[in-house]
Structure 1
Amino acid sequence: MARKRGQNRRRASMLIVLGLLACGGYAWYFEVGPFSRKASPEPEPISPTLLASLRSEDHATTGNPFPEVSEKGAQSAPSSGPATPSAPSAAQGLKLIESARGQIQSGNLIAARQQLSEAMNSGLESAKQVEIRAELVRLGQATVFSPRVYADDPLAGQYIVAGGDTLEKIARKHKVTAGLLARINNIPNINLIRQGQTLKVLHGPFHAKVTKSAFRMDVYLQDTFVQSFPVGLGAEDGTPTGTWEVGEKLVNPTFYHPRENKVYAADDPMNPLGERWIALKGVAGNAVGQMRYGLHGTIEPDSIGRSVSLGCIRMHNPDVELVYDMLVPALSTVLVAD
């Protein structure tokens, strides 16, 4: 890790020192210049048989996956968050699953994604939900995070690069990040696109929901579930519930540890933040007014799935690098629920 951090630092186009509260500490940031993206791996083929076991007669109603935060004194979440359509019944969910199975077998992945998204909200028992979620992740990999654009996909489209365009401008127009567009289009240098080039674009923004009891973060493109990641949380219930707005995002941060009264340099292999920091600003629920929390990587992968941090949400480093490219400051939100 030290060598990788050193390489990032040597490639820096300019040095920016930013003070930032980070889980009770402070972080500084060395902004890097152009960077490369490895080509995304081919998504796994969609398996029609995965959903074969989803037939059942007994289902408990669980309601919408984005419930209102109900703590005392909670405030309403901002309207920029994911939509919350009324949930279908469990019986309707079964019908949606059966229809989605047929759509997958016919190659109609967009229709299958929509139907499974609705089925996920229908109150099916948790074991079935796990299988639906796994299939939706594969569908997301195929329809969202691959270079292919599917007909009639409301979440994606094609864009022809015009004179004066940059990937940053195109990304802002579509409420996503240039890093993500580089990933899905296999662009090795974020600063090099050509006039007339056809790109796949996504219609953002992305949002996330952290379920503390499951140590899981789900990512939605608008209100469609597309990916899920394991997370680590704050010790002694130290990660406040509520809605958070994504703030400043930093690459290769330096970290000040408040308990140790020690500074960890950006290229220090013992830096606990990893190589990404995504600041969070509390805007609803128990998170209101909180400014010292964020998403970041870790040098302790065994801490994922446990409550051991100072309060921040930690992720495996490859996962947080992907999430870094998904979330847009001031547009994306993160809902933390029990």
Structure 2
Amino acid sequence: MMKRSWTILSAAIVIAAGAWGYYAWRHMRADMENPVVASGGSPPGVEATAQSTSPTPLRATRPSAPTSEQPSAMPVDEKSIEERADAAEPTAGVLANQPPSNAQPVEITLSQPPKPASPAIDTLESARQAVQRGEFIRARTEFAAALRMELTDEEQAEARNELLRIAQTLIFSRAIGTGDPLVEVHTVAAGDTLYSIGRQYMVTEELLAKINQLADPHRLRVGQTLKVVRGPFSAIISKTHHRMDVYLEDILVRSYRVGLGVNGGTPTGTWAVNTKLINPDWTDPTTNQHYLAEDPDNPIGERWLGLEGLAGEAVGRTGFGIHGTIDPESIGQNMSLGCIRLKPDDVAEVYELLVDRHSRVTVVP
């Protein structure tokens, strides 16, 4: 009985194995006779990749048994695949990455990065605020600092004008700013003269008389108080701008237009004021014509400040000076023999500011 059962079981296994092998062989043959090419599209259930560039046959693996919900494999119609692929192409008039025609445009504004802080602008603004608060000594210091920095032409003009305006009040009037390091009060002692006081502070007696509005500079009283300026003044002459700037220490206090030497004949460098004359005689070195004092035709006018070269191209040079002119049209031009010309009123002021032996004049390109 046992032997018979094993015989039946073996036969059943052989029959089942044969049926399964025949079924698998049949489906494999059908797939080999109908390869699927992934060029124009993909059959349902198969995902084609965008990178496919050559036909790739899809090989069947072990199939699952068909059910009522899963029909058996059917031959693939290549023509229908191509038609479906064509239908999937974008229609005419529709471009990739282009929004629909009814989309509303969106305006995007990119915020600008903040400008880096400028020390010159910050200093200039601080000086403006000091003026508004009435702190003129601080404003003067900061305008002077800003002027040594990199400014636009408009900002330079603003700083220069403010310095000149402040100087008119703090330096050239009777007013004394509290804590101003450039001026002080001098009490007249026995034996003091305006000349001796000026020499003590390295300024001219003419300037002291004008600042203190003295009716008679030769009549001082013991105990009298005078406003004095701590000199000396110095000057910088720009050949490019035809301009003389007068400084007290590093503070701009006066500015004048000048005439200079023909063909660049005014030597650059540092000069010392060594002589000062009112209504001088003068001899023209080119014609040897001599002009007497008080002569209205004297080309150098009524003031002469002789210069001695100390440094640069000026070293060892003599015969140059600062003087007036009877030809105001030459101011701002290169028409002199090398000297520095000023208008009559301007040279009179410069004469009161610069002190012989102490004041320096620097000529820059």
TM-score, structure 1 normalization: 0.72
Deviations 1:106-131 (A, max 9, x none): 11111100010000011112231112
> How big is the shift at 1:299?
0.7
Q: 1:267 aligns with which of 294, 315, 319?
A: 294
Give the Cα separation in 2 of the matches to 1:130 and 1:245: 28
SS in 2 for 1:302: helix
> What does residue 282 of structure 2 align with?
255
> What does residue 327 of structure 2 align with?
300
Give the Cα separation in 2 of the matches to 1:126 and 1:272: 34
Q: 2:354 aligns with which of 323, 327, 333?
A: 327
Q: 1:186 aligns with which of 201, 204, 213?
A: 213
> How big is the shift at 1:263?
1.0
Larger relative strand fraction: 1
Give the stretch that moved more between structures: 276-285 or 119-128.
119-128
Q: 1:162 aligns with which of 173, 178, 189?
A: 189
Counterpart check, 1:219 vs 2:219: no
> How big is the shift at 1:192?
2.2
Structure 2: runs of 5 or more not aligned: 1-114
> What does residue 142 of structure 1 align with?
169
SS in 2 for 1:228: strand
> What does residue 148 of structure 2 align with?
121
Q: 1:315 aligns with which of 316, 329, 342?
A: 342
SS in 2 for 1:236: helix
Q: 1:110 aligns with which of 118, 126, 137?
A: 137
> How big is the shift at 1:260?
2.1
Residues 294 and 302 of structure 2 are in contact (CA less than 8 Å); yes or no, is this contact kept in structure 1? no
What residue identity is the alignment partner of 1:295? I
Deviations 1:195-249 (A, max 9, x none): 2211110011110000001000000012211111100000011100000011110
Counterpart check, 1:288 vs 2:288: no
Give the Cα separation in 2 of the matches to 1:189 and 1:214: 39
What residue identity is the alignment partner of 2:150? G
> How big is the shift at 1:188?
3.0
Give the Cα separation in 2 of the matches to 1:312 and 1:125: 31
Residues 144 and 250 of structure 2 are in contact (CA less than 8 Å); yes or no, is this contact kept in structure 1? no
Q: 2:257 aligns with which of 230, 236, 246?
A: 230
Give the Cα separation in 2 of the matches to 1:298 and 1:191: 31
Give the Cα separation in 1 of the matches to 2:118 and 2:358: 35
Give the stretch that moved more between structures: 212-221 or 180-189.
180-189
Larger relative helix fraction: 2
What residue identity is the alignment partner of 1:306? Q
Deviations 1:42-65 (A, max 9, x none): xxxxxxxxxxxxxxx79xxxxxxx
SS in 2 for 1:135: helix
Aligned identity (percent) is 47
Residues 304 and 321 of structure 2 are in contact (CA less than 8 Å); yes or no, is this contact kept in structure 1? yes
What residue identity is the alignment partner of 1:288? V
Aligned length: 251
Give the Cα separation in 2 of the matches to 1:255 and 1:208: 24
What residue identity is the alignment partner of 1:326? L
- Over the residues paired in the alignment, what is the CA RMSD in angstroms? 1.3
> What does residue 43 of structure 1 align with?
none
What residue identity is the alignment partner of 1:138? R
Q: Which is higher, the Rg of structure 1 or of structure 2?
A: 2
Structure 1: runs of 5 or more not aligned: 1-56, 59-89
Counterpart check, 1:153 vs 2:153: no
* Larger RCO (alpha carbons 8 Å, 6+ apart): 1
